Chains A and B, each alone.
Chain A
Amino acid sequence: MNLHEYQSKALFARFGIPVPTGKVARTPDEVYAIAQELGGTVVVKSQVLAGGRGKAGGIKVVKSAEAARDAASDILGRLQIKGLTVHQVLVDPAANIATEIYLGITNDRAVGKALLMASAEGGVEIEEVAAHNPNAIIREHIDPFIGLREFQASQVASAINLPREHWDAFRKIAHGLYECYIANDATLAEINPLVITAEGQLIALDGKMSIDDNALYRHPELHDQRDLTAEADSETRAREAGISYVKLNGQIGCMVNGAGLAMTTMDMIKLYGDADGILPANFLDVGGGAQAEKVANALQIILMDPNVKAVLFNIFGGITRGDEVARGLLQAYEIVKPTIPMVVRLAGTNAKEGREIIDQASIPNIISAGSLTEAAKKAVQAVKEGVN
């Protein structure tokens, strides 16, 4: 789960990291009030879970509260950044920037430790720096049992040529960032840019955090921080139903048990359909069991997407038997009554019995398939026929 800039900076502040004194607003009038209270030049910053906000016109520096209100009117509910409509803006006092640096923490999967990264090239995306000048990124692994040590922060400060008068402040910020990262089960905590102001202060001008979904159960305080406007309604419904679902832009809805097999099923649709512009409409892992109620729920979620022209069920019965899965599918069919073609491929335990049950029901829009390849080809064919 990704947090907005204002949410991330609020968490940073709790760990002693200096952040601007701005506030978040949802209407132009709220923006006006905040800007007036702050006085002077302010920055109106779109709060969307996407990068490139500045280039998209989502960040405006304005000299008065009136101008802030006007800027907010243009942005709120109107501006779209990478397909996401802006519903909130952060109003921050403008900083007098002298230098911009980068400071971030993420997990290094290969090493199995958190990794502190810093660069004197702040203000640009770290992936860009990594691509054109990898040596400009200083890396320091953090041992989970001893944490980020003071000497490590000094090493980093030295390596990015930070002027010595700022080392104390830098070490406190690095330490605070790691504490914040650990306390919130983050998988990313990033300050970009961390600025040195003309007055000689270090301040986290922008912030970004991602929280480990596997650990959300122990952070109830973060539950209401989720931005539901950033996900499709179908995704919200799936999450609430405990179904792993990602909406994509193709025409073939997929229902599969297991994440790896679900991705593979999508790949097969792309492999056989791409030449005709036919692609998977979603990722969906229905999990084990495939009981009628869960299958029906998953089917309804898939059909919320109007682009879906056919559905491919690919269920590998491991512990679950194919005949049980077949009965579950037929019950789900009775509940949902879909009219588009549904290709059903059952494999594994009692798959043959399962296929017989499906065939005996002789439902005109259910097409049975033996192998994964056959299923993908039949689903692609069904969409092609529907279009013609």
Chain B
Amino acid sequence: MAILADKNTRLIVQGITGREGRFHTRQMVEYGTQVVGGVRPGKGGEWVDGVPVFDTVQNAVDATGANASIIYVPGPGAADAIYESIDAEIGLIVCISDPVPIADMIQVYNYIRHTKSRLIGPNCPGLLTPGQAKIGIIPGYVATPGNVGVVSKSGTLTYEVINALTESGMGQSTCVGIGGDPIVGTTLLEVLELFENDPQTEKIAILGEIGGRAEIDAAEYIRSGKVTKPVAAFIAGRSAPPGTRMGHAGAIVEGGQGSAEEKIEALQAAGVRVADNPEQIPQLLS
């Protein structure tokens, strides 16, 4: 068991013929992920590294029985790619694309909730179930199978913490990068809920950052007793001045809300062990 993806997940790649799509398809195949097809309108019938290319997601699903999709198309086309996967009733959609306009994501967010699909992202590194499936760009070699669930708003910071866990002999059940945009398909809280219900996951690491209130919502959820597993967290952006966007579209302290201090306080009040330094995470979970 793990969450969201495992060795049985049948993945298609939207935007497989692009530079990013092609490169990461090879990485995902090498990791052992079942990449059953790719999509690029107008290039159906071609092959990319042994993976068949289809003109539409529906064609790919009909031919391969795919149940997950990953999107590498450029930001302006991301929303359309997401809708196409929803239309083909893909269960798990992971969107790596960046930048995606917030207005596009508001529509996607309000549309997808009435369907059976789940979206991770956009502007995220995707997810990795060590030893089973890699759906995204998290470098596979840093991870190792185990029982720590990792959920993060970041990319390289996530790799850093996975790496630290692995080096401390603590493997991971699944690592999920939900993205740092203001509106994302799956929230921190939802991933926490999945980890809580996953028998393989015994401990949870949360990597948050300034902006929004996803970490506060997660803290309230933990505080209410709905998470029984030990949780450690790190919140990036203690040194960020208010009103200034720090790279991620969502990483900004606005109107006095979304500061690192506020989040750390809420998490500590919920019994979460909060690290001053991400390299302390393994220690806080042992």
CB within 8 Å of B: which residues of A? 107, 109-110, 112-114, 126-127, 130-131, 143-145, 182, 185, 187, 212-215, 217-218, 244, 246, 248, 256-264, 266-271, 279-280, 283, 285, 316-319, 347-349, 371-373
Label chain A's interface by main secondary structure: mixed
Given contacts A110-B217, A218-B101, contact A259 B163 (CB under 8 A): no
Residues of A within 8 A of B158 (CB): 260
Q: Give Cα A185 to B250, complex, Å.
A: 15
B88 within 8 A of A: no
Interface contact B160-A112, CB-CB below 8 Å: no
Given contacts A258-B157, A373-B279, contact A107 B106 (CB under 8 A): yes
Q: Give Cα A263 to B234, complex, Å.
A: 12
Interface contact B277-A182, CB-CB below 8 Å: no
20 new A-B pairs (CB below 8 Å) besides A109-B213, A267-B236? A109-B250, A112-B105, A112-B110, A114-B106, A145-B107, A185-B102, A214-B249, A215-B99, A218-B76, A258-B156, A260-B153, A261-B236, A263-B239, A266-B239, A266-B240, A267-B237, A319-B23, A348-B142, A371-B279, A372-B278
Q: Tell me the total A-B contact number using a CB cutoff of 8 A.
A: 171
B204 within 8 A of A: no
Interface contact A268-B277, CB-CB below 8 Å: yes
Interface contact B100-A214, CB-CB below 8 Å: yes
Q: Which of B1-9, B133-141, B223-231 contacts A (4 or more CB under 8 A)?
A: B133-141
Interface contact B236-A263, CB-CB below 8 Å: yes
Q: Give Cα A348 to B248, complex, Å.
A: 22
Given contacts A270-B239, A271-B276, contact A112 B183 (CB under 8 A): yes
Interface contact B139-A318, CB-CB below 8 Å: yes
Closest 8 CB pairs of A and B: A260-B154, A259-B247, A258-B156, A215-B101, A214-B99, A260-B157, A318-B139, A112-B109
Q: Give Cα A283 to B237, complex, Å.
A: 10
B61 within 8 A of A: no
Residues of A within 8 A of B246 (CB): 246, 259, 262-263, 283
With both beta carbons as reference points, the residue of chain A lying nearest to B160 in the complex is identified as A316
Q: Give Cα A257 to B209, complex, Å.
A: 16
Given contacts A213-B249, A261-B157, contact A248 B241 (CB under 8 A): yes
Separation in Å of the B225 CB from the closest CB of chain A?
Answer: 21
B127 within 8 A of A: no
Residues of A within 8 A of B213 (CB): 109-110
Can you name 23 A-B residue pairings with CB atoms under 8 Å? Answer: A110-B214, A112-B106, A112-B110, A112-B183, A113-B106, A130-B255, A145-B107, A185-B102, A217-B75, A217-B76, A246-B246, A258-B154, A258-B157, A259-B155, A260-B158, A260-B247, A263-B239, A264-B234, A266-B240, A285-B247, A318-B138, A348-B139, A348-B163
Residues of B within 8 A of A107 (CB): 102, 106, 182-183
Q: Give Cα A197 to B254, complex, Å.
A: 32
Given contacts A144-B110, A260-B207, contact A372 B160 (CB under 8 A): yes
Interface contact B99-A213, CB-CB below 8 Å: yes
Contact with A along B63-86 (1 / 0, CB 8 A): 000000000000110000000000
Among A109, A113, A213, A248: residue with most chain B CB under 10 A: A109
Interface contact B240-A260, CB-CB below 8 Å: no
Separation in Å of the B266 CB from the closest CB of chain A?
Answer: 14
Given contacts A259-B180, A268-B277, contact A145 B110 (CB under 8 A): yes
Given contacts A214-B99, A372-B279, contact A260 B156 (CB under 8 A): yes
Contact with A along B133-174 (1 / 0, CB 8 A): 000011101100000000011111111100100000000000
Residues of B within 8 A of A246 (CB): 244-246
Residues of A within 8 A of B12 (CB): none
Q: Give Cα A113 to B245, complex, Å.
A: 21
Given contacts A259-B246, A267-B237, contact A373 B183 (CB under 8 A): no
Q: Give Cα A112 to B104, complex, Å.
A: 11
Q: Give Cα A227 to B279, complex, Å.
A: 40
Q: Give Cα A256 to B239, complex, Å.
A: 15
Q: Which of B195-243 contact A (CB under 8 A)?
A: 207, 209-210, 212-214, 217, 234, 236-241
Interface contact A269-B76, CB-CB below 8 Å: no
Separation in Å of the B253 CB from the closest CB of chain A?
Answer: 12
Interface contact A318-B137, CB-CB below 8 Å: yes
Residues of A within 8 A of B36 (CB): none
Separation in Å of the A360 CB from the closest CB of chain B?
Answer: 24
With both beta carbons as reference points, the residue of chain B lying nearest to A371 in the complex is identified as B279
Given contacts A112-B183, A213-B249, A270-B238, contact A127 B76 (CB under 8 A): no
Of the candidates A185, A266, A268, A316, which one forms a contact with B101 in the assembled complex, judged by CB atoms under 8 Å apart?
A185
Interface contact A319-B139, CB-CB below 8 Å: yes
Interface contact B239-A267, CB-CB below 8 Å: yes
Q: Give Cα A269 to B250, complex, Å.
A: 23
Separation in Å of the A243 CB from the closest CB of chain B?
Answer: 10
Q: Give Cα A284 to B111, complex, Å.
A: 35
Residues of A within 8 A of B159 (CB): 316, 318, 348
Interface contact B76-A260, CB-CB below 8 Å: no
Residues of A within 8 A of B163 (CB): 316, 347-348
Separation in Å of the A172 CB from the closest CB of chain B?
Answer: 23
Of the candidates B107, B139, B153, B247, which one forms a contact with A144 in the assembled complex, judged by CB atoms under 8 Å apart?
B107
Q: Give Cα A114 to B158, complex, Å.
A: 30
Separation in Å of the A272 CB from the closest CB of chain B?
Answer: 9
B92 within 8 A of A: no
Contact with A along B103-126 (1 / 0, CB 8 A): 111110111000000000000000
